[in-house]
C-alpha cells in the first residue's frame, strides 16, 4: 500500500502493519459501523474494555475521540484525526493515544511507541460480504519508534483481531437480526 521510491525498501516502509478481515455484511453496513458513534461504541476497543465516552466529527480534519476503561479500572483515551473519507470505500486517519482533553500522549505501556500512526481502511464488497484491509504506518517516527512499531506487529495483530471479532459479533447480533 505504501510504495517505495525507486524500488528502495526503507526501514520505515518495512514498518507497515496490515490486517485483512471479511465480514458477512454489506460494505455500506460495515462502513457505517466504523463511522456512526452510536454503533462504534458497542464494539470499538480491546476485548474486556468498557466504553466511557466518545465524540466524532466525520469529515477531513475532524476527529473521533474516545475513552475506554480497562478491566483493571484504568482509563485509556485515543483519537483519530480524519484525513480522507470516501463514503463506503475508504477511511484515512492519523491515530494517537491521548488524554481526556485530546492532547496526544505516548502509548501508556511504551515510551518508544510512535506518537501517531497513519491508518487507511479500505472497504470492498464481494457477494454481499465486506473485505476490510487495514494498513498502518508510523508518522514522523524516529528509528527507535519504527523498530518498536515493527516489534509490536504481532501484538497489534492479536489486539485488532479481538477488536474486529467484537465488530463481527455486533454485526451478527444486531445487523443480521434487523435484516
The tens digit of pLDDT for each residue in 27-83 reads: 999 999 999 999 999 999 999 999 999 999 999 999 999 999 999 999 999 999 999
Does some domain include residue 138?
A: yes
Does some domain include residue 8?
A: no
CB-based contact 56:37 (threshold 8 Å): yes
pLDDT tier, 178 (very low <50, low <70, confident <90, very high otherwise): low
Tally the domains of the chain.
1
**Has residue 176 got a pLDDT over 90?**
no
* Residue from 162, 108, 166, 117 nearest 139 by CA: 117
Does some domain include residue 118?
A: yes
CB-based contact 116:96 (threshold 8 Å): yes
Does some domain include residue 3?
A: no
**Can you tell me the mean pLDDT for 115-129?**
96
CB-based contact 139:116 (threshold 8 Å): yes
- Which CATH number characterizes residue 170's domain? 3.30.530.20
**Which residue range is the domain that position 154 belongs to?**
13-178
Does some domain include residue 7?
A: no
Does some domain include residue 5?
A: no
Amino acid at each position: 500500500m505504501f510504495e517505495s521510491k525507486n524500488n528502495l525498501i526503507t526501514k520505515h516502509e518495512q514498518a507497515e502493519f496490515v490486517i485483512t478481515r471479511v465480514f458477512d455484511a454489506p460494505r455500506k453496513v460495515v462502513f457505517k459501523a466504523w463511522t456512526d458513534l452510536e454503533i462504534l461504541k458497542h464494539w470499538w476497543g480491546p476485548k474486556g474494555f468498557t466504553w466511557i465516552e466518545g465524540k466524532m466529527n466525520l469529515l477531513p480534519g475532524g476527529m473521533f475521540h474516545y475513552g475506554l476503561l480497562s478491566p483493571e479500572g484504568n482509563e485509556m483515551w485515543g483519537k483519530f484525526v480524519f484525513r480522507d473519507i470516501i463514503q463506503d470505500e475508504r477511511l484515512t486517519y492519523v491515530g494517537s493515544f491521548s488524554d481526556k482533553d485530546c492532547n496526544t500522549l505516548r502509548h501508556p505501556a511504551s515510551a518508544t511507541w510512535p506518537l501517531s500512526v497513519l491508518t487507511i481502511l479500505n472497504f470492498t464488497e464481494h457477494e454481499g460480504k465486506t473485505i476490510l484491509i487495514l494498513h498502518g504506518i508510523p508518522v514522523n517516527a524516529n528509528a527507535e519508534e519504527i523498530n518498536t512499531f515493527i516489534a509490536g506487529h504481532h501484538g497489534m495483530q492479536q489486539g485488532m483481531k479481538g477488536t474486529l471479532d467484537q465488530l463481527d459479533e455486533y454485526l451478527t447480533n444486531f445487523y443480521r437480526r434487523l435484516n
